[in-house]
């Protein structure tokens, strides 16, 4: 292994490859940080440029882009409460309140450092444990996925804000929206009302940006337009002390492991990893009432987890050739064009490239922390732009991004629809995060339930007798029981409410 | 305050410009070739192509449709002197992407790249359009390697083992598919031909099938040999044969289904299709470029790595070929 490591090093450590990694990271940060442009889009645009390069150079560029794309999402999440990608949803919960309190710099400091450390830990895990971890991931069939999804859905209870009922209704609304379009498995069109454009259902990106960003713009436009905050960047270093840093140790470690673990499971990925890590950090915290009001703990949990999901998602890709999400699917295409088929023989036949990829990832992480550290003094100034200039510009970017997903005008309309829906929800004090969770997890739930029933020919028992599935269903049950008993216990006290993610 | 504002705006503008630049960069690279091409074919076909051509692939990135489209696109760029942009428009078994080409302008800058599943979409009643709703620009490549794969430790050594077992134990052997897709038809054909009953389970797309087999969740997966050749080489998987009519040179040691007494043969074809109102000259130009690509040695060598067979069929020939295929599919699905 050491030999391969050295071979990988020598493949990457040349001026051209390093420059490619740096430009990949820079480009990725731009795509990640502009609302509506995603790492996937960046990858799709850059992929054809790599055809003319050597495999290693191409991979260097793409790995830089991947790391940059996932990390860039923190910028609009903290500054504008706008998750640039699904992987930074939970960053908005505490990052934005911190920015509102004038601590945007500190929020960035935490987000950058722990993105870096989360990413690094997952790369180490990837390097040391990829093949055995991939074998574990293979044990997950439909029964197991169904159970994991049920467990993840119980997270809604912790994101529900001040009313559990409203939280659950929001979650159900998300699942309902996901029903529109062709059914999983048999592609039968549902709720399309004969309107062809609805055949494919709603895409996640317009739903996400509509609910979080467009709704917020409508809300802000109600008020007398502010002049923008005057932001002075006087922060030293990353804005926190060594003591603060070590206080986050456990949180970081747990969130990174969650991120890596969830990233490994194809199909679930970074979009849910950050939310699950956030909720867990809140439940484990000694002061859960501070979550949602601008505690660094929340930012650390979300950002550690989403960067750790990168290393996780590469585990099944590199050792089995199975992509976990849209970005890794494009990476698979990129590898195949260069004649490298990810799978059992990749380590054997192209060990130097595999280790080159690992090293490119490490370098990309260092580039990411350097770029963002240099950039954060500029990002924070976005807040000083008057909102009547800033918001229209962002709205345009959101529309462009929505169209860019599938090159369809329909998605721009969907964006505005979900913007209005989000605005109405805010008005009636419904939390928004559960909608997204329901929207992402609903189809997974249905697909795996139906697949499982096809395997068992209509028999429900394997869902409860397969050990992994049974474990997760039991965890789901426990988490519901605990939540309900807490509610009863706190009924008379005006105890801590859930985080207010509805605003 | 004002100075700050100005700076912020500048940064934002800069960011925007970089993003736009990134979008255009791929166009820039082929501009030189473009000028050359223009001077050669002066004026006749309205100088098509004058801007990048978008190839709609109604399947996800990383699958075999996508891989073939990208490989052809790489060489088409050289022939046409314009960049060829692959857009993955997924959803509803490929109908969303196909419909998008029908909704696009008939100017020759949006073209569909798809395969057999398009025929099934109409046969199954999901949509009212099919291959004949497009102006075909030919078939560049065929995949003869449609195969059934079992895990390396499976008791089934060949197709006959599977059939014998399935006959005695109806509904016990599980086999993967995407309901209503190309592989589904293959399974139905086998069941009919041999009068056996399998447990057909939807496990998702190409890579999901591989994961389901490796994880031991399913007994057999139908797939393309090119996608699993590494696993076969490493001994983790075994092929039960391919569904082409005769053995294929690039995989001459793999027996066909017909040799093993199963009367069903399938081959996957990939085709280019334009909006029906696209001018003939444009389709002609594109089709000729495709033909030249298929004759390129480098392309053939790269394509054979995926175990597919570059075979050019002109628009007319492609139409006849697809029509025959459709008749066969209709026959199968009516039985």
Residue B273 has pLDDT above 90, yes or no: yes
Which H, E and C letters describe A314-328, residue by residue?
A: HHHHHHHCCCCCHHH
Task: Report residue A235's pLDDT band, with 50, 70 and 90 as the boundaries.
Answer: low
Long-range Cβ contact pairs of A236-245 (< 8 A, separation 24 or more): A237/A109, A238/A108, A238/A109, A238/A110, A238/A112, A238/A113, A238/A373, A239/A103, A239/A105, A239/A106, A239/A108, A239/A109, A239/A110, A240/A106, A240/A109, A240/A110, A240/A296, A244/A296, A245/A113
The SS3 of residue A43 is helix
- Is the complex ipTM higher than 0.90? no
Q: Do A344 and B231 touch (CB under 8 A)?
A: yes
Residue B21 has pLDDT above 50, yes or no: no
Lowest mean pLDDT among A53-62, A422-431, A459-468, B26-35: B26-35
User: What pLDDT was estimated at residue A113?
Assistant: 94
Q: Do B22 and A266 touch (CB under 8 A)?
A: no
Contact status, residue A432 vs residue A439, Cβ threshold 8 Å: no
- A459-496 confidence digits (pLDDT tens): 999 999 999 999 999 999 998 888 888 878 876 554 44
Q: For residue B162, which of B223, B105, B104, B221 has the smallest C-alpha distance?
A: B221
Task: Report residue A114's pLDDT band, with 50, 70 and 90 as the boundaries.
Answer: very high
Element of type H or E holding B112: strand B110-115
Residue A451 has pLDDT above 50, yes or no: yes
> Which of A20, A197, A343, A414 best probes binding to B when mutated, by most B CB atoms within 10 angstroms?
A343
State both tokens at A345.
């023989």
* Distance of alpha carbon B188 from alpha carbon B185, whole angstroms: 5
Residue A123 has pLDDT above 90, yes or no: yes
User: What pLDDT was estimated at residue B8?
Assistant: 47
* Distance of alpha carbon B330 from alpha carbon B327, whole angstroms: 5
State both tokens at B91.
């959803």
- B68-118 confidence digits (pLDDT tens): 998 899 899 888 888 888 888 776 677 888 888 988 888 889 999 999 988
Q: Do A48 and B92 touch (CB under 8 A)?
A: no
Chain B residue nearest residue A386, CA to CA: B5
State both tokens at A446.
């249905």
Instruction: Find the mean pLDDT for residues A397-421.
Output: 87
Check residues B29 and A362 and name the one with the higher pLDDT: A362
Q: For residue A330, which of B22, B195, B86, B105 has the smallest C-alpha distance?
A: B86
State both tokens at A278.
């956030």
CA distance B322 to chain A (A): 23
* Distance of alpha carbon A472 from alpha carbon A260, whole angstroms: 18
Instruction: Find the mean pLDDT for residues B147-169.
Output: 92
Contact status, residue A305 vs residue A252, Cβ threshold 8 Å: no
Instruction: Find the mean pLDDT for residues B262-278.
Output: 90
User: What pLDDT was estimated at residue A493?
Assistant: 55
Q: What percentage of chain A reaches a pLDDT higher than 90?
A: 36
> What letter does residue A342 receive in the DSSP assignment?
-
Residue B266 has pLDDT above 50, yes or no: yes
pTM here is 0.83
* CA Rg value for chain A: 22
User: What pLDDT was estimated at residue A239?
Assistant: 75
Task: Report residue A230's pLDDT band, with 50, 70 and 90 as the boundaries.
Answer: low
Instruction: Find the mean pLDDT for residues B241-257.
Output: 87
Q: For residue B265, which of B193, B321, B316, B210 has the smallest C-alpha distance?
A: B193
Q: How many CB atoms lie within 10 A of CB A193?
A: 7
* Alpha helix (H) residue ranges in chain B: 2-28, 31-40, 64-80, 95-103, 117-123, 159-168, 182-194, 206-214, 225-234, 280-294, 297-305, 315-334
When the pLDDT of each residue in chain A is averaged and rounded to a whole number, the result is: 86
Measure the CA angle with vertex B41, ends B39 and B47; round to 5°.
95
User: What pLDDT was estimated at residue B15?
Assistant: 47
User: What pLDDT was estimated at residue A122?
Assistant: 94
| Burial (Cβ within 10 Å: 0-12, 13-18, ≥19) of residue A400 | middle
User: What pLDDT was estimated at residue B207?
Assistant: 79
Q: Do B25 and A49 touch (CB under 8 A)?
A: yes
Q: Is the dihedral of CA A202, A204, A208, A209 positive or negative?
A: negative
Question: Rounded to an integer, what is the distance from CA B184 to the centroid of its chain?
Answer: 16
Q: For residue A326, which of A338, A339, A313 has the smallest C-alpha distance?
A: A313
State both tokens at B154.
């499976």
Taking only residues 287 to 326 of chain B, the set having a beta carbon closer than 8 angstroms to any beta carbon of chain A reads 302, 305-306
- B193-224 confidence digits (pLDDT tens): 899 999 999 888 777 888 899 999 999 999 98
- B32-44 confidence digits (pLDDT tens): 344 334 434 444 4
Task: Report residue A234's pLDDT band, with 50, 70 and 90 as the boundaries.
Answer: low
| Highest-pLDDT range among A335-344, A485-494, B262-271 | B262-271
Cβ-Cβ contacts under 8 Å, A137 against chain B: 211
Contact status, residue A121 vs residue A256, Cβ threshold 8 Å: yes
- A128-184 confidence digits (pLDDT tens): 988 888 888 888 889 999 999 998 888 887 787 778 889 999 999 999 999 998 888
* Distance of alpha carbon A226 from alpha carbon A318, whole angstroms: 50
């Amino acid at each position: 292994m050491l030999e391969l490591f050295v071979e990988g090093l020598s493949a990457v450590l040349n001026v051209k490859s390093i420059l490619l990694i740096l430009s990949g990271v820079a480009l990725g940060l731009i795509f990640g940080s502009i609302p509506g442009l995603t790492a996937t889009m960046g990858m799709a645009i850059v992929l054809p440029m790599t055809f003319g390069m050597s495999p290693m150079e191409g991979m260097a560029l793409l790995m830089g882009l991947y790391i940059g794309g996932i990390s860039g999402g923190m910028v609009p999440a903290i500054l504008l409460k706008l998750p640039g990608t699904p992987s930074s949803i939970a960053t908005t919960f505490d990052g934005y309140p911190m920015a509102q309190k004038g601590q945007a710099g500190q929020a960035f400091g935490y987000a950058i450092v722990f993105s870096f450390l989360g990413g690094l830990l997952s790369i180490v895990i990837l390097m040391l444990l990829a093949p055995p971890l991939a074998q574990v991931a293979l044990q997950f069939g439909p029964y197991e996925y169904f159970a994991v999804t049920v467990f993840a859905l119980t997270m809604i209870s912790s994101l529900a804000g001040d009313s559990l009922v409203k939280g659950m209704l929001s979650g159900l609304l998300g699942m309902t929206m996901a029903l529109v379009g062709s059914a999983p498995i048999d592609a039968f069109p549902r709720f399309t009302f004969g309107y062809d454009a609805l055949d494919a259902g709603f895409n996640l990106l317009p739903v996400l940006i509509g609910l979080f960003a467009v709704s917020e713009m409508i809300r802000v436009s109600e008020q007398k337009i502010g002049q923008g905050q005057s932001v002075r960047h006087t922060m030293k270093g990353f804005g926190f002390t060594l003591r603060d840093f070590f206080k986050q140790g456990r949180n970081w470690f747990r969130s990174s492991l969650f991120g890596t673990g969830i990233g490994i499971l194809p199909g679930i990925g970074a979009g849910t990893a950050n939310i699950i890590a956030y909720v867990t950090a809140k439940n484990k915290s000694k002061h859960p009432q501070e979550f949602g009001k601008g505690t660094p703990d929340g930012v650390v949990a979300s950002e550690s987890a989403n960067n750790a999901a990168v290393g996780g998602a590469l585990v099944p890709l590199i050792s089995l050739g199975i992509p976990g999400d849209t970005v890794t699917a494009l990476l698979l295409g990129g590898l195949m064009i260069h004649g490298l088929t990810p799978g059992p023989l990749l380590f054997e036949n192209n060990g130097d490239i595999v280790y080159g990829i690992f090293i490119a990832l490490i370098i990309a992480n260092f580039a990411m922390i350097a770029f963002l550290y240099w950039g954060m003094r500029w990002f924070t100034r976005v807040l000083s732009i008057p909102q009547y200039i800033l918001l229209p510009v962002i709205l345009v970017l959101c529309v462009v991004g929505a169209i860019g997903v599938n090159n369809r005008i329909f998605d721009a309309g969907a964006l505005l629809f979900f913007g209005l829906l989000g605005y109405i929800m805010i008005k009636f004090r419904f939390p928004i995060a559960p909608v997204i969770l329901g929207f992402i997890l609903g189809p997974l739930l249905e697909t795996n339930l139906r697949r499982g029933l096809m395997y068992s020919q209509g028999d429900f028992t394997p869902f409860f007798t397969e050990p992994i599935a049974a474990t997760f269903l039991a965890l789901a049950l426990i988490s519901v029981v605990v939540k309900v008993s807490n509610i009863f216990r706190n009924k008379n006290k005006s105890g801590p409410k859930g985080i207010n993610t509805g605003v | 305050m004002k100075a700050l504002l100005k700076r912020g705006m500048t940064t934002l503008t800069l960011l925007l410009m970089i993003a736009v630049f990134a979008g255009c960069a791929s166009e820039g690279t082929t501009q030189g070739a473009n000028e050359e091409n223009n001077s050669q074919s002066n004026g006749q076909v309205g100088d098509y192509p004058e801007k990048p051509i978008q190839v709609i692939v109604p399947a996800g990135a990383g699958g075999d449709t996508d891989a073939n489209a990208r490989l052809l696109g790489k060489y088409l760029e050289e022939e046409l002197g314009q960049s060829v942009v692959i857009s993955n428009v997924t959803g509803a078994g490929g109908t969303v992407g196909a419909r998008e080409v029908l909704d696009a302008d008939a100017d020759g800058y949006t073209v569909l790249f798809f395969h057999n599943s398009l025929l099934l979409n109409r046969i199954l009643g999901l949509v009212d359009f099919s291959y004949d709703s497009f102006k075909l620009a030919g078939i560049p490549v065929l995949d003869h390697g449609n195969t059934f794969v079992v895990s390396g430790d499976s008791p089934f050594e060949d197709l006959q083992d599977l059939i014998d077992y399935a006959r005695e134990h109806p509904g016990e052997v599980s086999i993967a598919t995407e309901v209503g897709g190309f592989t589904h038809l293959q399974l139905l054909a086998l069941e009919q031909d041999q009068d056996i009953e399998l447990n057909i389970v939807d496990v998702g797309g190409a890579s999901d099938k591989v994961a389901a087999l490796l994880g031991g969740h399913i007994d057999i997966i139908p797939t393309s040999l090119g996608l699993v050749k590494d696993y076969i080489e490493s001994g983790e998987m075994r092929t039960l044969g391919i569904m082409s009519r005769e053995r294929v040179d690039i995989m001459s040691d793999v027996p066909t289904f017909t040799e093993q007494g199963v009367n069903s043969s399938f081959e996957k074809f990939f085709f280019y299709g334009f909006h029906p109102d696209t001018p003939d000259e444009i389709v002609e130009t594109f089709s000729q470029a495709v033909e030249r690509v298929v004759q390129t040695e480098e392309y053939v060598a790269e394509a054979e790595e995926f175990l597919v067979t570059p075979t050019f069929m002109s628009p007319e020939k492609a139409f006849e070929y697809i029509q025959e295929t459709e008749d066969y599919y209709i026959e199968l699905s009516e039985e």
